[in-house]
A and B are shown apart, each in its own frame.
Chain A
């Protein structure tokens, strides 16, 4: 699908430091995901593993628009969001190793990363199931007069779920501070958007519920950041929910079990030419905001972080089996 009729986001002022920060964040995600795939093949990680390669600009750009008090609700393809939000690579990797030092004690795994310190509410693996939660988190903020944003990530597949439509309506009806962040990577697992939706312009669907809506090039981190800042500012100022569609593409398979029968290699290669990291590096070099020494330094830093995360996960410990039934119910109840 061609990306057209998109809002041309005004370029934020790009200084060297900020540019390097964005690139660094995207590189962290890319290298983390590549390593996760290796570790999956080495059977260190099991279960489902959904990788974010190709979509890095979305999580990184959007997180720039959020404050620490804001909330994030993510999907099962959420390593990138978690890293960009501030969960440590070590706690995420330990979680994927199933270890008790992981962010959820190894209870959740790759699909269910949670963190209270950064208000990261999953890791939700039922498509569309996170949207009502985000509506409720935003309702709590509104009722308590807190100027916060709840940012809810979901994919194009979720748009087919009833909960998408119910949530758009309720958030608009009650003017709730939700930033609905649609990562449109064109495929709901293996079913193309064009094969599942009669109307493929997703922003139009949201707009039909009187939700402010826009689409942006999800392969351009600066465009995403700019659009997300604008959207978050509107939401925070009490102007109701906002729907931002980031048009992106997943470079790897849906999960580690996906033979990718539903799309052509040519299509994937075509999208890889628009790699959000490669194109950003080129852009920075063209503008003399990055040189190879700096890039190599950044790569080394990222590699060190990931190697340390692996070293940490390797020595982490398993939760005792006796703790299996802990946290089915809260341990402290009123007498």
Chain B
């Protein structure tokens, strides 16, 4: 991050999300946070620590373990003129609220013929990599991206962790924000005046001429690490951070593929019927004749996530797999 003209400060992803929440609560009296352990515990990932003391129990609401009902209550409160932020502790538990998200939040505007929009934000932690085994390691943001009527955001950078929330709260429709749980401790520089960012566009995080690598969330940093190594080998990879999985900004990656003629998708979700499959299909539809080699994908192994460290590492996308795929793809001529 170039900070030569701006004052920057060291900040963690956790602190960036905390700051975004605090900023939203200060800006708009209609904003409130509710979810499991967001108040007295300070948030499962310590993101909301201190907010209860500052904003009180009316606006920082600890809920019972009733995912479906507090998510539905968020929808109802949004319909009633509030701007709720519902925190579902992790994506794994969001399955218990999936009826409210899919059948209510996503449908109300269309089903009512445009009468009732739902200005709701739902945040949740996602992803594996912490040896939490099969029931606590899901990456289901691609599933949610299947659903018309909601927006699906995956902030990977500090800038997005800080800036996406307010833009999401201003949006008239339901927005789901997936924060990868391995990112909360990530530290870096952020401009002091960092504020809201757009939630519509993918971003080129590293320009390159030889191959386009499309990714999002925590995988972004594995891809950037791989790109750095490849650069030393004379291979320049263009790295695209999708940022928003629905609606998908395909223009950005199609334009990139038109320049690099190669595309690799790195996605922590499972391969079959996945977001990576969607991206691959869009490249076939929109840039087929630009391709020098077939699109490739690096996804999580199609297994329930194992506990053992070596098995979990083998199941997740890793830098060495990215390196191997890219080297093969750029030396191949189809």
Contact = CB atoms under 8 A, between A and B. Distances in A.
Interface in A238-288: none
A297 interface: no
Given A163-B69, A170-B73, A129 B114 contact: no
Contacts of B167: 334
Given A132-B69, A133-B104, A167-B69, A107 B110 contact: yes
Contacts of A305: none
A122 B35 CA distance: 26
A116 interface: yes
A115 B61 CA distance: 30
Contacts of A131: 69, 72
B172 A173 contact: no
A165 to B, nearest CB: 8
A186 B138 CA distance: 41
Contacts of A134: 76
B76 A327 contact: no
B104 A169 contact: no
Nearest to A334: B170
Given A173-B64, A330-B117, A135 B103 contact: no
Contacts of B113: 100, 102-108, 114, 327
A308 to B, nearest CB: 22
Contact of A133 (B32, B72, B112, B115): B72
A144 B72 contact: no
A52 interface: no
Interface string A303-335: 000000000000000000000001111111110
Interface stretch (B77-85, B185-193, B226-234): B77-85
Contacts of B117: 330
Contact of B103 (A100, A129, A137, A141): A129
Contacts of B247: 329
B74 interface: yes
Contacts of B172: 329-330, 332-333
Nearest to A73: B76
A330 B64 contact: no
A149 to B, nearest CB: 12
Given A131-B69, A334-B171, A104 B80 contact: no
Contacts of B58: 143
Contacts of A330: 109, 117, 171-173
Interface in A124-148: 124, 126, 129, 131-141, 143-144
Given A136-B76, A139-B80, A143-B32, A107 B112 contact: yes
B116 to A, nearest CB: 6
B70 interface: yes
A137 B111 contact: no
A328 B108 CA distance: 9
A154 interface: no
Interface string B146-182: 0011010000000000000001001111000000000
A140 B148 contact: no
Given A121-B116, A170-B66, A333-B171, A133 B81 contact: no
B63 interface: yes
B100 interface: yes
A166 interface: yes
Contacts of B77: 136-137, 139-140, 143
Nearest to B97: A132
> B32, B77, B81, B113 — which one has the most chain A CB atoms within 10 A of its CB?
B113
B75 interface: yes
A114 B84 CA distance: 22
A139 B73 CA distance: 8
Interface in A166-222: 166-167, 169-170, 173-174
A77 interface: no
Given A114-B115, A139-B80, A140-B81, A166 B68 contact: yes
B116 A114 contact: yes
B54 interface: no
Interface string B111-150: 1111111000000000000000000000000000000110
B214 to A, nearest CB: 23
B99 interface: yes
A102 B113 CA distance: 9
A144 B32 CA distance: 12
A140 B66 contact: no
Contacts of B66: 166, 169-170
Contact of B73 (A107, A132, A141, A144): A132
B75 to A, nearest CB: 6
Contacts of B115: 104, 114-116
B32 A170 contact: no
26 contacts: A106-B113, A107-B110, A107-B111, A107-B113, A108-B111, A108-B113, A114-B113, A116-B116, A121-B116, A122-B111, A124-B104, A126-B99, A129-B99, A136-B72, A138-B80, A139-B73, A140-B81, A163-B69, A166-B68, A167-B72, A169-B64, A170-B64, A327-B109, A327-B114, A330-B117, A333-B172
Going nearest first, the 7 A-B pairs with the smallest beta carbon separation are A136-B76, A132-B72, A140-B80, A105-B113, A166-B69, A136-B73, A166-B66
